[in-house]
Every structure is written in C-alpha cells, then in structure tokens.
Amino acid sequence: MPTISVDVDVDLDEFDTQDLIDELERRGKELGHRGADCSELLDKIHAALCLNSVDQLIPLARELIYQSSGRVV
C-alpha cells in the first residue's frame, strides 16, 4: 500500500492551550500531576548538575517526581 508524507509548518501559538491539553489526553499522554509546570524545577536540577551539587539533587529529584506524577518518594 503506498504512503504519502506531507510536511506542514505549524505555529503552536495558533492553538489554544486547553485544546493542546485535550489532544494530549485524548492520545493517552500524561501531562504531569495537576498540570504542573516543572520548568523552574528542571532549571534548578540542571544548575545543581552543572555545579556537581549532589546534596541538592536528591530533594530536587523528589520534588520533580512529586510535581510530575503526584508520587511521594
């Protein structure tokens, strides 16, 4: 069976955030616990890794797991 591939340029700013969330949920993708935005926490983890601050990584990793999944470690 032949297939056709099409490249489409899409600007995500044209989509409503809730529409994107609904589509991801429809596809069965998890968005994180309570729709958490973990970008600031990821920045802190990145900084701790760059500075080799192992003592900071465990609490940050625990917080990331909680915010993204709702699980307490």
Please check whether residue 46 lies inside any domain of the structure. Answer: yes
Model pLDDT, residue 59? 93
Q: Does residue 42 lie in a domain region? A: yes
pLDDT at 47: 94
Quote the pLDDT of residue 4: 92
Name the nearest CA neighbour of 42 among 56, 61, 58.
61
| Domain annotation covers residue 48 | yes
Query: Helix or strand or coil: residue 29?
Result: coil
Q: How many domains does the chain have?
A: 1
Q: Which domain holds residue 52?
A: 36-73
Cα gap 65→27, rounded to integer Å: 22
Q: Is residue 3 part of a domain?
A: no
What per-residue confidence (pLDDT) applies to 32?
Answer: 60
pLDDT for res 11: 86
Nearest to 57 by CA among 73, 44, 71: 44
Q: Going residue by residue through the chain (73 aa), what tens digit of pLDDT does each one get?
A: 789 999 988 887 888 888 888 888 888 876 665 556 778 888 999 999 999 998 999 999 998 888 877 778 8
In a domain, 30, yes or no: no
Sign of CA dihedral 42, 47, 52, 53: negative
In a domain, 60, yes or no: yes
Does some domain include residue 5?
no
